[in-house]
Chains A and B, each alone.
Chain A
Amino acid sequence: DAKTTQPTSMDCAEGRAANLPCNHSTISGNEYVYWYRQIHSQGPQYIIHGLKNNETNEMASLIITEDRKSSTLILPHATLRDTAVYYCIVVGSDSWGKLQFGAGTQVVVTP
Chain B
Amino acid sequence: GAVVSQHPSRVICKSGTSVKIECRSLDFQATTMFWYRQFPKQSLMLMATSNEGSKATYEQGVEKDKFLINHASLTLSTLTVTSAHPEDSSFYICSASQYGIANQPQHFGDGTRLSIL
Contacts and interface: CB of A to CB of B under 8 A. Distances in A.
Interface string A12-41: 000000000000000000111010001001
- Mostly helix, strand, loop or mixed at chain B's interface? strand
Contacts of A100: 46
Interface string B92-108: 01010100111111111
Majority DSSP secondary structure for residues of A touching B: loop
Contacts of A62: none
B117 interface: no
Contacts of A30: 102
A30 B93 CA distance: 27
A59 to B, nearest CB: 11
Given A43-B108, A44-B108, A45-B108, A97 B101 contact: yes
Contacts of A34: 105
Interface residues of A, number: 28
Contacts of A80: none
Contacts of B32: 96-97
A14 B106 CA distance: 28
A102 interface: yes
Interface string B60-100: 00000000000000000000000000000001010101001
B111 A96 contact: no
Interface in A77-104: 87, 91-104
Interface residues of B, number: 28
A32 B110 CA distance: 25
19 contacts: A31-B102, A32-B103, A34-B105, A38-B44, A41-B111, A42-B111, A43-B108, A43-B109, A43-B111, A44-B93, A44-B108, A46-B107, A93-B102, A96-B100, A97-B106, A98-B46, A99-B46, A100-B46, A101-B43
Interface of B: 4, 6, 32, 34, 36, 43-46, 49, 51, 91, 93, 95, 97, 100-111, 113
Minimum-distance CB pairs A-B, first 4: A43-B108, A46-B105, A101-B44, A93-B102
